[in-house]
Structure 1
Amino acid sequence: MVKSALRAEARVESRILSKVFGVFCLGWLVFLVFVHQHLNDSVLQLYARNQSFNKAQFAAILEQAENRLQQIARTVLTTLPAPDAGGALAVGQVVASLDQGWSGLEKPPDFLAMHFLAEDGRLLAGWGDVPEHAAGHDVEPARLLQAERERRSITYLSCHELCFFTLVRTLDADSDGLGYLHLSIPVENLLRQFEFLVGPGIFLFRRQTGIAQPDRLQYVFQAASSQVRWLKYRDLLAGLDWQEAVYQRTLLAQELLLGRLDIGYFADNPYLFVTAEDMTRNFDQAGSAFARILLGSLLVMLLLCMILYFFIHHVIRRLQFLAGVLPVIGAGQFEQAEKLLERSRPATHVRQDELDFMHQSVRVLNGRLMQLHTSLRSQNDQLRVLADFDGMTGLWNRRRFRQELESWRREGRPFYLALFDLDHFKVINDTLGHAAGDHVLAAFSDVLREEVSGEGLLLARMGGDEFAMAMRGNSRAEVEALLGRIVRLWLQSPLWSRGLRMVVKSKPSIGVAGFPADSGNMEELLVCADTAMYENKRLKQADFHFYTGRELIVFQERQLTNWLNHLTQAFQQERFLVYFQPIVSQTGHARVACEALVRIRCQEQDGGVLHAGHFIAYAEQTNLIVRIDRLVLDQALACLCSHQPQPVLFFNVSNNTLSTPGFDAYILDKLEEYGYDPACLVIELTESAEIVNFRQAESFINGLRHAGIRFALDDFGTGFSSFNYISKLELDFIKIDKSIVWGLLAASEYTKNRGIVESIVYLARAAGMQVILEGVETPEVLERIEGLGADLLQGYLFGQPSASI
């Protein structure tokens, strides 16, 4: 049992460890996701810082370029002559002066171009590195008008075939008509300068077109950086959101981040600068760091799992052991559980934990349960002895003996039952004392045990000085021989009490009855043996007497005496009970009334009750029936008076009570005492016994009918003068006896019996009475009485008698 429990608990350990490992793995994965995200965020934060730096550097380059152009413009314009008397300069003079100014520049920037433009924007002259395909095509009239209107230098970005950083201003701030000075530097130079100083590649795009038509700007892209090629990153650039995105990451071998540079100089221009920064090394470093963290955390997690497994395994194994011991304790194997707990007892020198205390508690529990089990087993043995054996003689008592006899009866094998009664035993008790009487009983039981032994023999003390013996598998001759030996041995064995030999000896009276020859019913068999025993006591002609059936009168006299005593004790001990049985309607079987029935509570501890059939006949013979009728009426009214509405009560009155003077007044007094409606009381007259005085019965009925009480004739069909009663007594109900109702079940006589019942119903109808059929106890009976015309039904099918309605 322990091994099976441990195997079962091993599965629990596996489930616990798998769940713990799963939690660890989940936590580890969450940690890795967090670390990975943190490393990526770190790289992106670095890029964001770089991008801010790039923006500042590029803005500085543009500002430096603007300042340079402003300085060149001021230097060149200082060579212009003063206007003539007419207030105007000739174009030739301006060109010569500008040429002189250009020549005077110490070192013009590479690819610097200067143009002299007329008022209408025509190119009048040009200096510097001016590609033929671009000269004169990068002038924006709107910028010229803006410079003329604001009277200041205007810088802007101009892209046609090439892109230039351009400055425009009027030649003379004080007069009109001279034209404009147009200075420009290729954006390529600025981009190369940014790449040289900062590092990342840089691109220039139109905001409106994006990269939909890149051919016009291809020169700019190729010239902007020697490391970044437009065609290589075309797809990446095509996915950049110019309105929102700050950076994007490519899936190429390089980790390339793109970011736009929003420069304040060109806020009103449709151009956008985009940097392309190679972050491959940074991402590689982050990946290496993540790999190191991954490996290290994996090792740490495995180490933690091993440590946790060690502790959990140790704890679970101890719990498994205790869980395996508990079923052993539950099975009552306390000794085995104690051995197991002793072998696994924790060391006393080691610091104890909660599991050690649990181990000790289980051991204490096992010890307490072992003690309790031992005590209960001892008490059960004692109770079994007390329940089955007589304390004085050690023989079986009446209850156990009857159980064994009942078992023999069910087996159906023949046996003999002998009852013993010690004569003059009361004399011994009265003269020598109860101790001497007890000594006699013990000595007689020893004689029985000495002679009666082996299989098929039972011995018991039935109570007082009565003993019983049952013999199975013996012939009558063998039984006679055995009983003869018992009597001789008893009479020959000396009896001593307090050191003195007892002279007075009780000879046993023995009665024998055979099963099933004398009776197949156990109660009747005991009565037969008891009758034979009293017959032997009365005749005193032999050592024993076998039941013959001719002892009936003696038995009846004894039964009458016994029942007189029993009924008297029942009155004294208030053991009479009133039960109620329902009476239902023929149609629908609704409860319409109930009948009060008397019972006697038995003195035995099993709480059984005796039915009226056991004692009513003896009560009538002893005239105790009058007291019983009064008691039943009183208890029934007391029980039912509080019910609303008050139920109809059927109450049996014996002929003895009917002829008792004053009983009618007693009924009226009780009805008034309990406030019970007389119309709800129906008095049943028993038809099974002859009414001796018809005149007295008529007077009794008529007097109570005036008060509203109704009457019924009970057990109709079993008595002496059924039709005479109907014709002479004024009745309300007829209750047909169950023996007549059960006759309908006989298939051979069904037609005849049904005709009889139908005739009774017809007769009752003619006399104005309702018919009640008794004994409706099975659905078969209910089916047979259908259509007979009865008004009410009564029987166990509709309800057993009970103490309440």
Structure 2
Amino acid sequence: MLFVKSVGNGVGAAMVPCGCAPTGVWPVLPRPNTAANQFSNVVQLLDHARLIVMLLDESGIILYVNDHGCRLAGMSEGELVQHAFTDAMIEEGSSKRIGDSLMKLLRGQQTHFNHESVLEREDGDSLVIDWHHTRLKGSDDESAVLCIGVDVTLRRKAEKNLAWLADHDPLTKIYNRRRLEADLEKILHRAGRYGHGGAVLYFDIDEFKLINDTGGHSAGDDLLCTIAGRLRQSQRATDLPARMGGDEFAIILDETDEEGAKQAAERLVQNLSSITIRLGDLSHHVSISLGMVLYPQHGQTVEELLTHADMAMYHAKRLKHPGGRWHCFEKNDTGQEMMRRKVNWRARIEHALANQKFTLFYQPVVVTGNGTIHHYEALLRMTGDDGEMILPGEFIDVAETCGLISQIDFRVVQLACHELGRWRRQNRSVTLGINLSAQTLDVPGFVPFVTTQIERYQLNPAQLNFEITERSAVANMEPAQRMMREMQKLGCTFALDDFGIGFSSWLYLKQLPLNYLKLDSSLTRLLVDQQEDRAFVKAINEMSHALGLRTIAEAVENAATLEILQSFDVDMVQGYYLGKPAPHLINEVTAPRSA
């Protein structure tokens, strides 16, 4: 093994191999000694490496540091060489522990070890360094330590932000559905063990669609954030509020009785009804519909409680109580109005399937760099009896619970392939993004059906890009993996949709054979005003690229948002600013080619 040592004092000292000197001696060879000149090439390589490279002697004293190490430390070579590694590079609270490990390394009790530590610079900045230390053995039992440090500050910050996203709603900054369900599971276990009860309040905002349609999505987002702020301020420290999705919220009230829960419901209704928002020239007073369930009376599992809370909320929309618009769940709630509503919608869906009442609208997905249309997302619409276009939010949930969603997915694929075949005959090469439900991921006949449609209309399978949501993919991991791999063998591609609202783990992205990742609209709508949202989107985009995925940002509604996404190198964008969904293909986007 050849050791190296600094030649000369301070900056510009040459590094030479110790094998050129007598045994046991760290040589001082002046330039332009031949050995030193030969080794200077190695020094230059070390200086240009994007790593901290250090050599320590048997006492843990720094003998050499490369240029990159000096730059990260914010010190010159002269300020580092001949100083103890633990004094110069390790934070005070960890220096003894790291020093002890280095001594074990030098004594031969271990050959290498690694750790992370904080490098506190004199300018006040702090860096997280991932260190790898290796013992070098020379002649006459002389030892040294080679230290390699990697700056992982940005990576750790991104991981921290992504870990936060796993439990929080990025728009309102309160807990999300996943975290509430996980905490409720623990609370129910504890309540069963110690015999105490509690309640769950579940509510949505009345006429929220009207607010969005009249004031725009920004007005709706502002209202959601205002309500979340009220929830944080008005609840007990032990209560747990969360945004469940859309305009729905829930609060866990642990260790309370029925009377305490009713009082909390009344206070909440009154508190939120005091919120007033401007919609054009009009003032709109906010109101909510709230359902309440008690545990263990109304359910002993998370699924039971949330289902019953949703039913109680539905009844609150039709019932008025002296204390406000809320309703406590009753056992006969399960078989009345909600079931009639589901039966009605089921009949309408079956009628639409039987009478060709489903149609597709197309929204362009645009390449961020040059403004060209990469592909279109096929968006489902149902035609009502009077000709109105019904959005999927009105009937998809019922279709899923009634077992009709896979039939709808098959119809969408059929419609999409029919249109692709028609455009092919017109010499138009088009790719469509097609949404798939969780249930269809496990339907055995789906892949053969797609294969038949591709052959029937003489399509290139790459023209079909299937979109599955993060939640459905994670909930059906094995069938999703199996089906996706079969489809990719045909030549189809896959995108993970709505990434960010049900965030689970980057591990799932490695397990799923994906081509694209679509950032959920909740992550992009407030990019202009929210620094945290910009940090999240930038981190997700960079880590997606590291995994070989192309990224698509949804809900781009203005030039400022587009410009930010361009600066982050997001691959593609989609939204009303670029083109609204239409029953025909949009040949050019409405926004300028560069923001």
TM-score normalised according to structure 2 size = 0.43
Q: Which of the two has greater strand per residue?
A: 2
TM-score normalised according to structure 1 size = 0.32
* Higher RCO structure (Cα 8 Å, ≥6 apart): 2
